[in-house]
């Protein structure tokens, strides 16, 4: 009886404990202006108020730390700041991190940018350099809310905080719409769950990555899909060019047609799988995509990011192979039939054309893997980690 009563009390107690969501702020500019620092603190408290108002079912923690890393002038590379933010996030065990600088940000794709969210890293970079007029604290808070919206998987909309802040002067704090709140709530529930490393102290390498994938397979595939991996071959120009060059040589040789058309389907299937996996691993390792943070032991969020990036690249390489398959089949249909028949010493059937196309695709992928490592390392990282330049 007494035991049941005590259990009841514990249950009631538990139901009142709100899950904690932490959004850590890191100031990386060496700001000494006391007034600006006070505005930063005020911005954080404004953000806390609106988060508490919109999502009262969570306890919001917004710690603010200062690191004197950059002098407060000169443009900074957001990629470097994102990596620093990730470092702080994993070290302090925050769910999300916002890197604040008073410097300008160096844009990659746009003329200028004041923020870069990265949902893959769950970190955003925010620059206050363009917001130096009245109400800077509210503008910083509004921009932070927009960036957080991206980290929580929202895209732009007509109203609420997800309106693209094209005009910095009009940045104002507003509430999320009901639909947006629902989506964010789901994300926050996932984020506030105990992380794998908190549940068990000792892990093996493979078992940790395996368990990470199975904690949220749907979410991981959704993130991969959000990257539109099919567009990767177009974005990685050097890789695609290397593949195209190899393709011309393969297409123009009678021996390669003869060899490719007579491979067994099983060998081609295994060859394709190995080529896709091999070229992905080669680029992933060569471009240091796995090294997004200094070693901090096993961290579920970090492992998840690596899985998402690897899978995105894997899809990308598969689409590259598919693209070349289609291209070669097209060329095979357009080539004068007599020449191809002559090269093969008999009539070319459609299945032989398919065999040749997948053989050419494998060679193209291998060439592409070498070309992929000629890409600028930061270029691929920015492509994979930036959600946008705000």
Query: Which residues of this protein are in contact with Zn ion, per CB under 5 A?
Result: 390
Give whichever of 14 and 110 is closer to Zn ion, judged by the CB atom: 110
User: Closer to Zn ion at the Cβ: 305 or 390?
Assistant: 390
How distant, in Å, are the alpha carbons of 92, 141, 385 from that of 81? Answer: 16, 19, 12
Residue listed under structure tokens 């160096």 = 106
Q: Least separation, in Å, of the C-beta of 176 and Zn ion?
A: 14
How much is the CA Rg of the chain, to the nearest whole Å?
A: 26
Tell me whether residue 23 or residue 369 sits nearer to Zn ion (CB atom).
23
| Helix or strand run (H / E) with residue 92 | helix 78-92
- Mind giving me the DSSP string for 331-354? HHHHS-HHHHHHHHTSPPPHHHHH
**In which element (H, E) is residue 64 found?**
strand 64-70
Q: Which is nearer to Zn ion, 161 or 316 (CB)?
A: 161
Kindly list the distances between the CA atom of residue 363 and the CA atoms of 143, 317, 352, in Å, as whole numbers in the listed order: 47, 12, 17
Instruction: Report, in Å, the least distance between residue 388 CB and Zn ion.
Output: 5
Residue 142 or 314: the one with the smaller Cβ distance to Zn ion is 142
- Three-state SS string over 111-168 comes to CCCCEEEECCCCEEEEECHHHCCCCHHHHHHHHHHHHHHHHCCCCCCCCHHHCCCCCH
Q: Shortest distance, CB of residue 114 to Zn ion, whole angstroms?
A: 11
**Which tokens sit at 190?**
């996932």
Residue closer to Zn ion (CB basis): 144 or 366 = 144
- CA angle in degrees (0–180, nearest 5) for 204-89-151: 105
DSSP 306: H
Pick the closer one to Zn ion by CB: 45 or 155: 155
CB of 390 to Zn ion, least distance (A): 5
In the complex, least distance from residue 252 CB atom to Zn ion, rounded to whole angstroms? 47
Structure tokens at 328: 């070669």
Q: Which residues contact 164 (CB under 8 A, 6 or more apart)?
A: 156, 390
In total, the chain counts a number of residues equal to 390
By beta-carbon proximity to Zn ion, the closer residue of 81 and 360 is 81
CB of 260 to Zn ion, least distance (A): 46
* Least Å from the CB of residue 123 to Zn ion: 15
Question: By the 8 A CB rule, do 127 and 103 touch?
Answer: yes
CB of 162 to Zn ion, least distance (A): 7
Locate tokens 């507003």: which residue?
174
């Amino acid at each position: 009886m007494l035991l049941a009563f005590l259990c009841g009390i514990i249950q009631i107690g538990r139901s009142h404990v709100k899950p904690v969501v932490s959004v850590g702020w890191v100031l990386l500019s060496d700001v000494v202006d006391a007034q600006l620092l006070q505005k930063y603190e005020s911005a954080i408290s404004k953000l806390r108020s609106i988060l508490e108002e919109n999502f009262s079912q969570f306890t919001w923690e917004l710690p603010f730390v200062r690191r004197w890393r950059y002098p407060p002038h000169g443009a900074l590379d957001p990629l470097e700041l994102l990596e620093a933010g990730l470092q702080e996030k994993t070290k302090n065990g925050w769910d999300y991190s916002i890197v604040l600088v008073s410097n300008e940000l160096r844009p990659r794709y746009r003329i200028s940018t004041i923020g870069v969210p990265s949902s893959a890293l769950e970190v955003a970079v925010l620059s206050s350099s363009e917001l130096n007029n009245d109400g800077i604290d509210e503008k910083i808070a509004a921009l932070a809310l927009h960036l957080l919206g991206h980290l929580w998987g929202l895209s732009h909309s007509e109203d609420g905080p997800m309106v693209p802040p094209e005009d910095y002067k009009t940045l104002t704090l507003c509430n999320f719409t009901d639909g947006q709140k629902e989506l964010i709530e789901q994300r926050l529930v996932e984020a506030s769950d105990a992380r794998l490393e908190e549940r068990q102290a000792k892990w093996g390498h493979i078992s940790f990555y395996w368990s990470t994938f199975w904690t949220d397979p749907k979410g991981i595939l959704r993130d991969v899909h959000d990257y539109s991996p099919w567009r990767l071959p177009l974005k990685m120009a050097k890789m695609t060019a290397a593949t195209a060059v190899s393709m011309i040589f393969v297409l123009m040789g009678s021996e390669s047609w003869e060899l490719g058309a007579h491979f067994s389907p099983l060998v081609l299937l295994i060859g394709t799988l190995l080529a896709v996996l091999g070229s992905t691993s080669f680029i992933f390792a060569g471009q240091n995509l796995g090294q997004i943070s200094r070693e901090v032991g096993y961290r579920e969020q970090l492992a998840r990011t690596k899985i998402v990036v690897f899978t995105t690249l894997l899809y990308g390489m598969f689409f590259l192979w598919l693209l070349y398959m289609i291209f070669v089949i097209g060329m095979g249909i357009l080539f004068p039939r007599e020449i191809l028949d002559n090269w093969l010493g008999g009539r070319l059937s459609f299945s032989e054309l398919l065999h040749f196309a997948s053989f050419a695709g494998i060679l193209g992928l291998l060439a592409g893997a070498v070309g992929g490592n000629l890409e600028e390392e930061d270029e691929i990282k920015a492509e994979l980690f930036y959600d946008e330049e705000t």
